[in-house]
Amino acid sequence: MQEEKWKDFNDEYKVSNMGKVVRKSKKMKNRYASFVKEEQEIKRQKTSSGIVFVWLFDGDKKYKRTVSNMVAELFLGRKEGHYYIGYKNGNKDDLRADNLYWKKSSKGE
């Protein structure tokens, strides 16, 4: 079995080579106390075509990112002229880095 590795996506989130997205723990403060907000896995959702995505926050701004693109960008690197993600085994739920590849077209290679 493959070992799970993590990379920072940005200051708030990190992504694993197995396709998990986690909000990092961080120190918080309100008017009553200081506390640590624990690490939390982000709930996945699917588009009507079966692509897995998560909602992320940047301050007050909420935005959607596909998990496959996040994993590919961090663990495969960007490939010039390739803008779409393919799934080697055809399963869009299998978001492991070793199952993903970059392709030029949304239809085929």
The stretch 45-71 carries a mean pLDDT of: 94
Which residues, including other chains, have CB under 8 Å from residue 28's CB and lie 6 or more apart?
A: 34, 35, 36, 37
Residue 16 included in any domain: yes
| Number of domains within the chain | 1
pLDDT score of 94 more than 70: yes
8 Å CB contact between 69 and 61? no
pLDDT for 35 equals 75
Mean pLDDT of the chain: 91
pLDDT for 54 equals 98
Domain extent, residue 94, equals 6-103
Q: Which residue has the tokens 């993600």?
A: 85
Residue 108 included in any domain: no
Residue 109 included in any domain: no
Domain containing residue 66: CATH number: 3.90.75.20
pLDDT score of 32 more than 90: no
* Strand ranges inside the chain, DSSP E: 6-8, 13-16, 21-23, 26-29, 34-37, 40-41, 45-46, 52-58, 61-66, 84-87, 100-103
pLDDT for 1 equals 67
